[in-house]
Amino acid sequence: MDDQASEQKLRINHVPAGKGPTTWFDGDAYTIKASRDSTGGSLSFLEASIPPGSGPPPHIHTLEDEAFYILSGSLEFRSGGQSRQVGTGDFIHVPRGVGHSFRNNGVHAVRMVFLYTPGGFENFFVEAGEPAEPGRPIPRWGPEDYPRAVEIATRYGWQPSLEEDEG
């Protein structure tokens, strides 16, 4: 194998099914499949499980675009003062600066993937969450946990927004 082919091979990232660092975050589970570090900063890619009743408050990302793809289940997605149901196979792209939120109003966990460009926002979940432990239920947060998460989130360009100000 010549040096150019060897160098190209080193740039390919492969994370097998069921692998990747997993973080618990307020009842959700996030598995990092690609990070800023593993992609040279170009993107972050996460797989997530969002249980019933879960979802982030209205917010804006100021540093990256965000995209979602729903693998299974359905969510209520809000942006620009409008709400829509999104489900299995649906894709949503949210440009940076656009307010949005989602909530699982169903009875089953939603499985979805997130793409952030450029990469880096995955570090928020790592810093604000806790490492997952096999065999334990995912803990939900109490009111005392949210101020710390918001403080960490703002360091990653996340800002709270009001529903009527979104979009």
Mean pLDDT of 86-107: 97
The domain limits of the chain are 20-165
Tell me the one-letter amino acid at 127. Answer: E
Average pLDDT, whole number, for the chain? 91
Mean pLDDT of 38-53: 96
Mean pLDDT of 131-143: 92
Question: Would you identify the CATH topology of the domain 20-165?
Answer: Jelly Rolls (2.60.120)
Give the residue from 66, 140, 143 showing the smallest Cα distance to 100: 66
What is the distance between the alpha carbons of residues 144 and 128, in angstroms, rounded to a whole number? 13
Mean pLDDT of 121-131: 95
**Residue 160 above 60 pLDDT?**
yes
| Phi, psi angles (nearest 5°) of residue 126 | -65, -45
Name the one residue in this structure whose structure tokens are 């998460």.
149
pLDDT in tens, 69-81: 999 999 999 999 9
Of residues 63 and 1, which shows the higher confidence score? 63
Tell me the one-letter amino acid at 11. Answer: R
